[in-house]
């Protein structure tokens, strides 16, 4: 009887070992492109739609702060594909009532509009301006809505731990010349969220860094609720806190129109 129990234990351990090996191998089998695609969809396409209140803190080298308080609305039309964003700025006074809208497409350049209330102007943001600073922050317009994975060539450099998390370390080199020559990303092996990114300029010098500082489970969706982008060369940084995050709230198509750029829908931005 004792020998039978021992045999059962050995068989059970063998089965568990096969399961762990299979899980590990499935992770190892991913190509760099698949890893980046998974990161892109998990980070930018969580839920069918999303509503969040966002506090953006701009901090200069001397520690002086400026605050941006805004509401973000996002709706997906296809996973990893077409998507729309709407943002409304509550404060400070110099950006209050400013709105920003993005139509993201899978097979062409995204459309972006910015409404500037001080001069009552809706400004179309050109495709080559998407690398400009987003409302004075260290994030670019492209950082806000995401860079399409097929715009870069990806290489898996290694696997390593970052703050106790097992990560894929992936190098992404733009296929067309940009303001930066490469991006290195630390992507969590378990949830595929980006925990850190390093950007290198045209002199191949490290100049910008993204870090995920806090992750929370929101209705079953793991969300980066605190993140920071830092300019290494100037010492300026932008800290972002996602508050009051809600998923799958039923945002309608009509929200994403030029009419609402000028007259934001109060029921969604309060």
Angle at 136 between CA 117 and CA 115, to 5 degrees: 20
**How far is CA 142 from each of CA 39, 133, 134, 145, 215, rounded to the nearest angstrom?**
16, 9, 9, 6, 22
49-69 pLDDT tens trace: 999 999 999 999 999 999 999
Position 16 scores a pLDDT of 40
**Extended beta strands in the chain, E state:** 49-59, 65-76, 83-91, 99-104, 111-116, 121-125, 152-162, 165-174, 180-188, 194-201, 206-218, 221-231, 237-247
Which region among 18-32, 126-140, 146-160, 192-206 has the lowest average model confidence (pLDDT)? 18-32
pTM over 0.85: yes
Specify the DSSP class assigned to residue 251: -
Residue scoring higher pLDDT (176 or 8): 176
Q: Which of 220, 161, 195, 190 is nearest to 23 (CA)?
A: 190
Task: Tally Cβ neighbours within 10 Å of residue 48.
Answer: 15
Specify the DSSP class assigned to residue 109: P
Position 9 scores a pLDDT of 42
The whole-number average pLDDT for the span 174-195 is 96
- Give the CATH number of domain 30-269: 2.50.20.10
- In three-state form (DSSP H/G/I as H, E/B as E, the rest C), the secondary structure along 224-236 is EEEEEEEECCCCC
225-265 pLDDT tens trace: 999 999 999 999 999 999 999 999 999 999 999 899 999 99
How does residue 179 score in pLDDT terms, banded at 50, 70 and 90?
Answer: confident
Domain spans in the chain, listed from the N-terminal domain onward: 30-269
The whole-number average pLDDT for the span 5-9 is 41
142-168 pLDDT tens trace: 999 999 999 999 999 999 999 999 999
Position 22 scores a pLDDT of 42
What integer best gives the mean pLDDT of the chain? 90
């Amino acid at each position: 009887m004792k020998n039978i129990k021992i045999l059962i234990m050995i068989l059970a351990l063998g089965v568990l070992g096969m399961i762990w090996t299979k899980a590990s191998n499935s992770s190892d089998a991913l190509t760099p492109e698949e890893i980046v695609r998974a990161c892109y969809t998990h980070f930018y396409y969580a839920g069918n739609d999303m509503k969040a209140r966002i506090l953006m803190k701009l901090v200069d080298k001397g520690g002086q702060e400026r605050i941006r308080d805004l509401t973000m609305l996002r709706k997906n039309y296809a996973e990893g594909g077409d998507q729309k964003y709407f943002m409304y700025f509550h404060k400070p006074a110099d950006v209050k009532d400013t709105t920003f809208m993005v139509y993201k497409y899978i097979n062409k350049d995204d459309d972006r509009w910015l409404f500037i209330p001080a001069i009552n102007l809706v400004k179309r943001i050109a495709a080559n301006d998407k690398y400009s600073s987003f409302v004075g922050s260290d994030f670019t317009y492209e950082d806000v809505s995401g860079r399409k994975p097929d715009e870069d060539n990806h290489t898996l450099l290694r696997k390593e731990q970052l703050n106790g998390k097992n990560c894929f370390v992936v190098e992404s080199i733009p296929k067309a010349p940009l303001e930066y020559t490469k991006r290195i990303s630390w992507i969590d092996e378990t949830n595929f969220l980006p925990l850190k990114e390093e950007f290198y300029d045209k002199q191949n010098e490290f100049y910008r860094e993204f870090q995920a500082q806090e992750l929370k489970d929101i209705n079953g969706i793991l969300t980066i609720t605190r993140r920071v982008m830092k300019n290494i060369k100037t010492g300026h940084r932008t800290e972002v806190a996602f508050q009051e995050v809600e998923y799958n709230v039923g945002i309608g198509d009509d929200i994403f129109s030029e009419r609402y750029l000028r007259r934001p829908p109060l029921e969604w931005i309060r």
